[in-house]
Chain A
Amino acid sequence: MKFTNTSSHMVQEVTNIIDGYKMGSMRALAQEPVQNALDAVREGCSTVEVEYRLLRRRDDDGKPCFLLTVSDKGTTGLRGDMVSNKELEARNYQLKPEENWAAFEAQGYTKENEDALGSRGQGKAAFLYHSHVPPGETRRMAMLYDTLLECGEYRLGMRYARPVDQILSPPLLNAEAQAALQRDFFLLGDLNVPLRLKPLCEVGTRVIIPFVAEEDALEFRPGSELERWLQRSWWRAIQIGKLRIRVVDEDQQSETEIGVPKWWRDLPRENSPTPEGRWHDLPDGCRACVWGDLAFGNDYKFRRLVMLHSDSLTEDEIVRDHPEYSGIQVMRGLQWIETRGARQDFGDYIPPDKRPGFRGYVEFDKRTNSKLRAAENSQHDGFDARGSKGEIVRELRAQLDACTRKFSAEMGWETAPSITTQQVSQREKATLTRFVETFLNQNGRKLGQASTKGGQEGTRLLWDCNLDLDYPDPKSTRVDWGQSIRHVNVEVGFEPGEDLVGSADVILEWVDESGKAQELCRREDAVSKQWGKDRVQNRFELGDWQILRGKARQEQQIECSVPGECKLRAVVLYRAGRVKSASRTVYVQSEPPPPPEKNPVTLSISAVNISADDKKRIDHGEVLQLQINTKNRSVEDVNYCFTASFNAEDHAIARRQPITLEGTPAGELPIRQVILSEKRRLFDPEQNVPLPLDGVPTLNMPESSGKYTISADLHDENDDVVAHASCPVYFQRDPGNARNNLPFEIEQQDQKAMWLMNEDLDLLTYSGDYPLYKQMKEVQSQRSALQGRLAFIAEISANGLLEWALKPKETGDDSHYDQLYDESRSHDLWDALNRGLENLSRTAESPIQFAQTWRETVAVMLDIFARENN
């Protein structure tokens, strides 16, 4: 006999292959031989029979040893020519479909009309892994295989991994093969393999695994683990009569035939299931629903989906990490591939006490089966949901999710307390965070990009810029040709006064009706640091400016030939960036829109932790900067009383303090007027208070940790509240839902609406079933900010942010609005956003106009988001 060496380290290869089976070697042994047998079904045979037989022999030292044989009937046998390695190489590693013998012996080939799945030696490895050739320092494996072909030819081949891979070449044929099998021992290289087997009488194949380890042999007996894996993998093929599997223990003289699990036996056979699902009440309170011809995804189809629950069923799992029966078994062809677990995948819909009794399976039409096969892993125990091939898997899982939810609702489980909301992916959460960070201006004084941080406790340079001017008519922004805008003053401030590096320029520019900017004048090095000053404030008087229709011939004249809404803008330039700007609207030769009737006066509160980079939580010893602002959109000045309090303090911050709010000329964007600005250093009452050095007033909080509120009211002369604002302060505790400084978090929820913002404005929810969301692709590798489902998340984030900003305005509270509206970002799209926000404040009385403005503003926000994040 001549053995041919191949170049591979076969033992290592086999071990690697079997290690790839996440449920272990026993599933591989239950799966691979049967799969090979079903693939080789003989024409005219409706049923394939597979037999696992355990035999006890003695080795040449007289010690007991075990053999496992796996034989099949109703198959073609290992037919086809024997192909040598050299010949295989010459044929470019291509085998014909009927060349089973060569396929069983070779490694690394592909078959015509097949994908590469069968060529990785999974079947061979499943057998060899269980052979432990004794004794020796290195692990060795052996197997023999005999086959009786339809033509009457008998072959016996052998493979010996020592660890180099050896195969018997050529194999023993006919009488020689049969004689070898019947001998007590067979010399395999240097090894005596006990055989004493009867030759096959029917066409088929038998694989003989010698030297099975004793502990493995126990698991091969009827009623042991192998039988359980065989049932899990093949019950459906057995149920419809395509397969019979027997497990025989010759030594104990016991045998068993693999049957169908009892819960599936009771289910009546249904030949025409409907896509709507049909319910069945079974014995023992068991209920089942059968769906058929149910389309999903891109024209894929469930041939049958069955779900069943019975309280009398208990969990029957071998490997607890990966579900087997407990869940929905996904069958590709007639073979179980994976299970979508009742706990792991449907835990949101199935309460814990119902999970042990939940069972299901799904099978597909031919086209879907073949697509699924492409996404299947080489171990046939899972699908890859990534990439374009995985699209079908993602669709399948989404559909199973939807059906399970329906099943759960019908079973009355939806009200179970364990049912939680669905998961939002990390990418989706990140999109919301980026979206909010793009737009939100935490305290109305967000940094420009060129701003710098100071050294102490994260303090930073805060810029202010105001542009003052007198219109010809103090109550209107209208300026006719020939008229002048008088007393144009720019006031620029920053703090801390010592932290400025270099100096800043101030420019005045005219923005015409089309948005085109033209520089009018520039003051270079106008703002610089001043030692010993907390705050630097400079004022520049820029004189009067006349608007002309014709050409400007002198200084201090502005040429504007087209009537419409224009702007005069002051910009602070610092280290090549626009850190702050302020603008005033001018309606040239046209009438400005009237001020809003509803809530013309609003309040806003910003409460910021200036010691720790604006984080929402304030810890012991950190400084809270409190600022209360107001906006008066009406033309007239108004007199109100102002009251404010912090519920951590015993005394009110302001109590019925009279204030006068200047009117805003018609057409002008209202200017924020600061009515109160204070700082408090907050202390834990139970901790030591350090000696205050910076003059910031201290406040001992009532308790060590808690959520407090700053509230403010504006009263008119009748003591009616005309505007109210409030703002939470989180002392030594994290904000509840909205962590990481986000104003709200995002969650998936079962709801009809595309998105919803909750009452407390801290949770944005959307439906995973929303048609638009479902149709968009899940993003696997992100290339742009608005891609697939992330575009949907950006869209609802924009809507959510608008509702979050505008809803408090109903009580005249601008605290949220002021974080979104930022006049310092007053160029191109940002200007459009500011204008949209202001229009939304104005048009609340007309629902249609409001909705139109809302849509336009959302579109602008998406444009800005894409531009800033791509």
Chain B
Amino acid sequence: MLFVVVVPLAAALICLAVKNSRASEYATMAGSVAAAVWVLRLAAGSAGGTIYFSKNYTLYCDSLSAYILLVISLLSVAASVYSVEYMRGELRTGTMTEEGLRYYYLLLNLFVFTMMMVPLANNLAVLWMAVEATTLVSALLVGIYRKKQSIEAAWKYIMLCTVGITFALLGTFILYYAGAGIVGASGEAGSLNWTDLMHSARLLNPATLRLAFIFVVVGYGTKAGLAPIHNWLPDAHSEAPTPVSALLSGILLNCAFYGVMRFAAIVRVSCGPAFVRDIMIAFGVVSIVIASLFMLIQLSAKRLLAYSSIEHMGIISLSFGLGGIYGLYAALLHILNHAIGKPLMFFVTGRIHSVSHGARLDRVSGFLKMSPLTGVLGFVGVAALAGVPPFNIFLSEFLMLKGLAAGAHWYIMAIFLIASGLVFFSLLRGFGGMLLGRPRLGQNEEGQKQENHTKPVPGTWWPTSVMMTLLGASLLFLGLNIPGGIDKLITRSMGIFMGGGL
């Protein structure tokens, strides 16, 4: 199990040691692939019901951890492959220096390392440290261009998330207080291990745990991008280099939400399911509504996608709050679905961005003709994100609707349907405009139209195209059929939130 987290760390060390950005590219890719292979083995074991422990119970891997870890490692492979194409483009245009590129790969590996620590942490304080470490590393990645906007975004990001996460630490302290006198499964009193606390969840004081959970939801919720504490998210996502935006949106948000889930499992047993349900549903509905309204007025493609992430985190939170078989299955499946769909859209946007120098929605059109493959993938991604059948996100949203119907939450259902109508409209208007029509690549400062382009987009790298096609294909594949292994992982993870403690 340790091997998984050691690999990205080793790759980071290699990037630190070598003086050549090419070597860092290959080290990053090799590292992410090696980690992914190892994670697949781990996930296969977890799907079969094995639970891995480190010697002193600080690290832990059950089906839920393995599932999140799987999403992280697969996405990190995609991001490292895409980084090669995108960052070489940035190097060519002079936006990045050779030195900056090595720094970028170093941080990228560290970022993946910190994110992998999150699902593996059993000790809740270690979980907190890992989440805080992801903020610190990714803030440096957000500000890597050292432009005015990117520094502003990074500042906002690190400030809001650090303040937010301070509350999560307070919540962790309060939970520790609640469990201080209780002997857990590992035999020592006052342990902060999730397994111990889960084991003795019935004995914890519900009033104290309620207080702890509120602090934790506010804290990790800030980082998970739940409205109304989402303000950092659109800025950070739009100013970061595109591969980093994909990682932020696809998996970082889920890592933070994973923290909420682990706490919710304990609190649910102690305080009863209604308390957790109401909080998570409220955050989910507010996020969906706010995101769908803000998406209507966005002019930049990356900001549009960032708000779409808030909407999808809202959907995950809402489904998770609903609970039950439909809700939990939908929440966990949606984590994977969103983590495939959103990065694909960021990659497509990045390709548009690298030829048009700024992805303003109203200044680019006809990209489908310039690069047919990217254009088609863009349409697949938009359809999937908007929840159109037969793509995978439709499946998880449909399951959530079933859950809403089963719980007779008709108002929430109506709100969700209206909001997803708005989201569909904004996405189609934004990306439809960019992809269809006469090929045009933006205007320069004076507002003059640049010459028309019909030649293929320069600087694409075939492995990146293959990777993006695979992502697009899996959007469709997962919409038609959920592989047995993933189904097993999800079903096993649902058990954590359904029974009465371990």
A associates with B: no
Binding site for A on B (CB under 8 A): none
Binding site for B on A (CB under 8 A): none
